[in-house]
Amino acid sequence: MEVTRHLGKWAAEVSPQWSESVIDLALHALEDTFASAVSGATDSGSAIMRETIQGQGRATVIGSTQRVPATVAALANGYIAHASEMDDNFLPGLGHAGCVIFPALWALGEEIDASGKAILDAFIVGTEIMARIGGGIGRAHTDRGWHGTSTVGALAAAAASGRLLKLDAAKMTAAISLAVSMSAGAKGQFGTAAKPLQAGLAAQSGVLSAKLAANGLAGNEAILEGQSGFGDLYAGIVPPDWSFAEIQSNESLAIEKWGFSFKRHPCCGSTHRAVDAILELRHEHGFSAADVANVVVYVGYGNMLNLRYPEPHDALEARFSMPYCAAVALLRGRLGLADFTNAAVQDPTTRALMANIDMRLLPHAKEGIESNDPATHLSHSAVVTLKNGKSFERSVHFAKGTLQNQFDAADRRAKFDDCCIGILPENSIEPIRSALANAMALPTISDLMRHVAFEV
């Protein structure tokens, strides 16, 4: 199978007549990414991005009144959208989709004056390409330590950007191929400001690849499946299976079959199932943190790799610390953005409780055994033992916010408010809600982005 050409042809030529359920999922992802980006606008690294970028253009940088070229805005906004770790996980695509694809489309869309409908169409196409390439290369890619958001995500952003530019099949294939040359990112950067930078670089790569392809630059048309290509170089211990990349005309899209994992906790998604288990046990049995003797949580192989900070020094590391996240869940009954500040991380009560929380590898977990389908993932569990000797255990297969355990309207509103209130001007909150809910009818994406053109 000619994988790169096949995906390029599909991305260029698939009908934009999407089902209502697909549009609803894309609208939720837009709302979720937009809110996450607002919450990330106050991050210190986001301020550095805004201070560093230069140029004159038409695209908005979130939390600033400056206008820059699309490639520069995609870089900055990709960073900002990923900075607070509130953005989605897209497990079929091996990473986060919204923080890479939407910043590319927002920036390019402002530059070419694209409609909300065109942005959502391009996002849907980008997520499908991300899922197909992610499925082909498999979770062994991320188990080996690659950051799928920035490797597979760059290719997804290129396809989405190419869709917005209305590239034909040959030029779309070229855009995907060129993005492979810009595809990089290591999990070794988790817990540092370089992690959201990798998302920004992937978004920028998508815009740049599509623009270069539009002007006639091309690469190897078999770069995904060919010798010394993406699959050869980036696979882990399991070889790529490119049968995943073959898209049939009557198939459901990945976002319908597997969905997004929208976050209710502003920390690495690898913590969420165990944290949910702790919160459920706390609610059901009514114990407090003072009652707890110890907690043992069990997670998968890739999750252990992600959660690399048993004793975090700052807020960046705390987002990738199971002991910290579990301790906050026990103490507060929730995790919010206010729990991820450098001051909060040094709270002595939290630090004392962390010493009694142990993270272990699930007995059957090992590198490369889980697939991209969330239904096949190993359940994560928590065992809470109280000082009186009682012990409670809970396993969670689907974290709150997944397709199988969805947010309700109240959950969505609470997340949006937590991300936006206190950052956005108060009189803009309801107009933004309306613009997001009615994004399909926006004449231009600039009608949405103008709401985040303010100085943090």
Domain ranges for the chain: 3-257, 269-396
Cα separation, 300 vs 282, whole angstroms: 23
pLDDT (0 to 100) of residue 228: 95
pLDDT per position as a tens digit, 238-275: 899 999 999 988 889 999 999 999 999 999 999 999 99
CATH number listed for the domain at residues 269-396: 3.30.1330.120
pLDDT per position as a tens digit, 344-383: 999 999 999 999 999 999 998 888 888 878 888 899 999 9
For residues 382-388, average pLDDT = 98
DSSP H or E run through 380:
strand 380-386
pLDDT (0 to 100) of residue 154: 98
Is the pLDDT assigned to residue 20 strictly greater than 90?
Answer: yes
pLDDT (0 to 100) of residue 250: 83
pLDDT (0 to 100) of residue 372: 77
pLDDT (0 to 100) of residue 34: 97
Is the pLDDT assigned to residue 283 strictly greater than 90?
Answer: yes
Residue 70's pLDDT band (boundaries 50, 70, 90)? Answer: very high
Intrachain domains 3-257 and 269-396 with the same fold: no
Contacts of 199 (CB under 8 A, 6+ apart): 78, 79, 81, 82, 96, 99, 100, 149, 150, 153
pTM: 0.95
- Judging by DSSP bridges, how do beta strands 67-68 and 357-361 pair with one another? unpaired
DSSP H or E run through 393:
strand 391-396
Residue 455's pLDDT band (boundaries 50, 70, 90)? Answer: confident
Q: Tell the CATH topology of 3-257.
A: 2-methylcitrate dehydratase PrpD (1.10.4100)
Question: What share of the chain in percent tops pLDDT 90?
Answer: 92
pLDDT per position as a tens digit, 106-164: 999 999 999 999 999 999 999 999 999 999 999 999 999 999 999 999 999 999 999 99
pLDDT (0 to 100) of residue 454: 87
